[in-house]
């Protein structure tokens, strides 16, 4: 007999990902009960406000208030829905693995609720975990607490999302593909039904075992970071070739269908709450299992070395004692997130090398101030950041930086050095008052030619 369509879902964890998922699910007509241990998040959702800062989230929750409510009680949410997404933190531990402490706590509460629930329920883990975590680490908690069996009594899936902060809702509703790890066919069928209700772009569904899906999730992120590092290495090569231009090279590479252009814009390293730690975690897993995962370790080491390496490489443009302004402290434009941010690492590396550093960010200044309190001044005022600067380093493609003119940068001073990681201020090169230093472009053709000569002697 066909099961009736699912109308009620719960979302456990209303943070950066879960908050947007709850709103997205409700916007597609599902009735959503959100759960969080943080009472402020619950209150915000019940008042029709966003529990976290994310593009369009407040508006979407307000527009769908009739179909979203939130509670502190996991039991209430499980009893009132047919399927629960779990999106709680899985922070990295000192070994680089993802801890399950929050997920275990959530699964314990779900298991206790399942004990009281007569019907079938599907539990879907969305948090990022290492392969084996869903079946080996969390399933036993559900069975122990509920006294029931996975399969006949309840279902279990692993269903991560591939989203970027700042476009979480759009990415959730329009994924490239839908990664669905299933304990069994029945669990997967129920989850796929939700996907077809929610997905706006007809994205293909990849169904597989829990373990394959867990590996596929972190493999995607790790692979993308390798592309970024590869492009950064190409940028370095280009600086050593007469006329070298990483954008020209990357555009050519990008036309090869096996490669593609995305994430090949050489410039600065990768950061944020997912990329670096997924890479580290997969390497940890490799070591545990006897898999040779040096590729991942090398990638991580290379990325972490970039800030110091740039400070050394850029010495000719950074005379001792100059004031340095770093524009861009979040790990990407339009974000307040500074986790593993290249801009933050660059400020620290400059400070360690003895420079007076002031960092600027429109959105991330408050977070950065705490992280940089021993190394740099931090401001959200461009005026303040630029007023005493001798050298300006632009680390993100934030519009407020890419639109800067020479006069706005100079502020009446006769000269200034601008180091541009993403080549977004190329027009400055023509201004005699600006010493323009683009990363990834050859800045000295004859020096580069001389450097090549011994290879062909
Ligand atoms: N943020 C991203 O870009 C992103 C992308 C892909 C995957 N993920 C993964 O999703 C997971 C969550 O990430 P996030 O960024 O949304 O985290 P977050 O810290 O922003 O949100 C997690 C929320 O879960 C709540 N919570 C913790 N324990 C709970 C419990 N037992 N019951 C109910 N609520 C609980 C917290 O109070 C918080 O509001 C992580 O595993 C992360 O790796 C995040």
pLDDT in tens, 292-318: 999 999 999 999 999 999 999 999 999
Q: Which of 156, 166, 164, 161 is nearest to 199 (CA)?
A: 161
Other Cβ atoms less than 10 A from the Cβ of 379: the count is 19
User: Is residue 394 within 8 Å of 367, Cβ to Cβ?
Assistant: no
User: Annotated active-site positions, please?
Assistant: 274
Residue owning the nearest CA to atom 33 of ligand 1 = 36
User: Is residue 357 within 8 Å of 329, Cβ to Cβ?
Assistant: no
399 pLDDT exceeds 60?
Answer: yes
What is the Cα–Cα distance from 428 to 437, expressed in whole angstroms?
10
Quote the percentage of the chain above a pLDDT of 90.
Answer: 98
Residue 47: what pLDDT?
97
Residues carrying CATH 3.40.50.720, the chain: 8-203, 314-439
What is the Cα–Cα distance from 313 to 309, expressed in whole angstroms?
6
- Torsion sign across C-alpha atoms 164, 166, 168, 169: negative
Three-class secondary structure of residue 238 per DSSP: helix
Of 14, 17, 337, the one to substitute when testing ligand 1's pocket (max ligand atoms within 8 A of C-beta) is 17
List, in order, residues 6 or more apart from 436 with CB less than 8 Å away.
Answer: 418, 420, 425, 426, 428, 429
User: Is residue 180 within 8 Å of 157, Cβ to Cβ?
Assistant: yes
Element (H, E) at 191: helix 185-198
Q: Is 35 touching ligand 1 by the criterion CB < 6 Å?
A: yes
1 pLDDT exceeds 60?
Answer: no
Helices (H) and strands (E) in the chain, counts: 18, 14
Beta strands 356-360 and 377-379: pairing type? Answer: parallel
Q: How confident is the model at residue 195 (pLDDT cuts 50, 70, 90)?
A: very high
Q: Is 273 touching ligand 1 by the criterion CB < 6 Å?
A: yes
Which ligand 1 atom sits closest to the C-alpha of 90?
Answer: 41
Of 10, 12, 13, 113, the one to substitute when testing ligand 1's pocket (max ligand atoms within 8 A of C-beta) is 13
What is the Cα–Cα distance from 82 to 70, expressed in whole angstroms?
16
What is the Cα–Cα distance from 260 to 100, expressed in whole angstroms?
35
Residue 457: what pLDDT?
83
What's the mean pLDDT in 217-227? Answer: 97
Residue 113 Cα to ligand 1 middle (Å):
21
Q: How confident is the model at residue 4 (pLDDT cuts 50, 70, 90)?
A: confident
Q: Which of 63, 57, 28, 62 is nearest to 47 (CA)?
A: 62
Q: Is 37 touching ligand 1 by the criterion CB < 6 Å?
A: yes
User: Can you identify the CATH homologous superfamily of domain 314-439?
Assistant: NAD(P)-binding Rossmann-like Domain (3.40.50.720)
Residue 63: what pLDDT?
98
State residue 33 phi and psi, 5-degree precision. Answer: -110, 120
Which ligand 1 atom sits closest to the C-alpha of 109?
Answer: 31
What's the mean pLDDT in 130-145? Answer: 98
Residue 228 Cα to ligand 1 middle (Å):
25
What's the mean pLDDT in 381-401? Answer: 97
Q: Which of 368, 383, 19 is nearest to 165 (CA)?
A: 19
What is the Cα–Cα distance from 452 to 241, expressed in whole angstroms?
8
8-203: CATH, from 1.10.3720.10, 3.40.50.720, 3.20.20.60, 2.70.98.10: 3.40.50.720
- Residue entry with tokens 């077809």: 196
Beta-bridge partner residues of 209: 182
88 pLDDT exceeds 60?
Answer: yes
Q: How confident is the model at residue 78 (pLDDT cuts 50, 70, 90)?
A: very high
Residue 343: what pLDDT?
98
Residue 83: what pLDDT?
98
190 pLDDT exceeds 90?
Answer: yes
Q: How confident is the model at residue 2 (pLDDT cuts 50, 70, 90)?
A: low
Q: Is 22 touching ligand 1 by the criterion CB < 6 Å?
A: no
pLDDT in tens, 254-288: 999 999 999 999 999 999 999 999 999 999 999 99
Q: Is 13 touching ligand 1 by the criterion CB < 6 Å?
A: yes
Residue owning the nearest CA to atom 15 of ligand 1 = 16
pLDDT in tens, 319-347: 999 999 999 999 999 899 999 999 999 99
Q: Is 38 touching ligand 1 by the criterion CB < 6 Å?
A: yes
Q: Is 381 touching ligand 1 by the criterion CB < 6 Å?
A: no
Residue 136: what pLDDT?
98
């Amino acid at each position: 007999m066909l099961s009736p369509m699912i109308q009620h879902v719960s979302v456990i964890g209303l943070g950066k990902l879960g908050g947007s998922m709850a709103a997205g699910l409700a916007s597609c007509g599902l009735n959503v009960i959100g759960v969080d241990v943080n009472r402020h998040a619950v209150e915000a959702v019940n008042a029709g406000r966003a529990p976290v800062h994310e593009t369009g989230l407040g508006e979407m929750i307000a527009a769908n208030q009739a179909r979203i409510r939130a509670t502190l009680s996991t039991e209430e949410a499980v009893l009132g829905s047919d399927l629960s997404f779990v999106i709680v933190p899985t922070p990295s531990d000192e070994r680089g693995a993802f801890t399950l402490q929050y997920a275990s706590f959530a699964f314990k509460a779900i298991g206790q609720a399942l004990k009281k629930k007569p019907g079938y329920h599907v539990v879907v883990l969305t948090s990022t975990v290492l392969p084996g975590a869903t079946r080996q680490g969390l399933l036993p908690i559900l069975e122990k607490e509920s006294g029931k069996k996975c399969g006949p009594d309840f279902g279990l899936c692993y269903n991560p999302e591939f989203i970027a902060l700042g476009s979480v809702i759009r990415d959730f509703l329009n994924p490239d593909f839908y990664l669905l790890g299933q304990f069994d066919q029945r669990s997967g069928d129920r989850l796929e039904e939700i996907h077809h209700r929610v997905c706006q772009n007809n994205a293909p569904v990849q169904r597989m075992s829990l373990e394959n899906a867990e590996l596929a999730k972190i493999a995607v992120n790790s692979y993308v970071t390798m592309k970024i590092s590869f492009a950064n290495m190409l940028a370095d090569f280009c600086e050593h070739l007469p006329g070298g231009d990483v954008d020209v090279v990357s555009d050519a590479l990008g036309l090869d269908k096996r490669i593609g252009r995305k994430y090949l814009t050489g410039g600065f390293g990768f950061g944020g709450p997912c990329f670096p730690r997924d890479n580290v975690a997969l390497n940890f897993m490799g070591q545990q299992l006897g898999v040779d995962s040096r590729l991942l370790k090398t990638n991580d080491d290379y990325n972490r070395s970039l800030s110091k390496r740039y400070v050394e490489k850029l010495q000719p443009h950074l005379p001792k004692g100059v004031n340095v302004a770093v524009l861009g402290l979040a790990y990407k434009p339009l974000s307040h997130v500074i986790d593993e941010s290249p801009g933050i690492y660059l400020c620290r590396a400059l400070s360690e090398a003895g420079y007076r550093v002031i960092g600027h960010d429109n959105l991330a200044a408050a977070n950065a101030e705490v992280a940089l309190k021993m190394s740099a001044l931090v401001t959200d005022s461009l005026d303040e950041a630029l007023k005493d600067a001798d050298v300006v380093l632009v680390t993100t493609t934030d519009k407020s930086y890419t639109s800067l003119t020479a006069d706005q940068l100079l502020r009446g001073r006769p000269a200034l050095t601008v180091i541009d990681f993403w080549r977004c201020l190329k027009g400055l090169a023509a201004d005699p008052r600006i010493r323009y230093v683009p990363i990834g472009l050859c800045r000295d053709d004859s020096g580069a030619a001389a450097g090549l000569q011994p290879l062909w002697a």
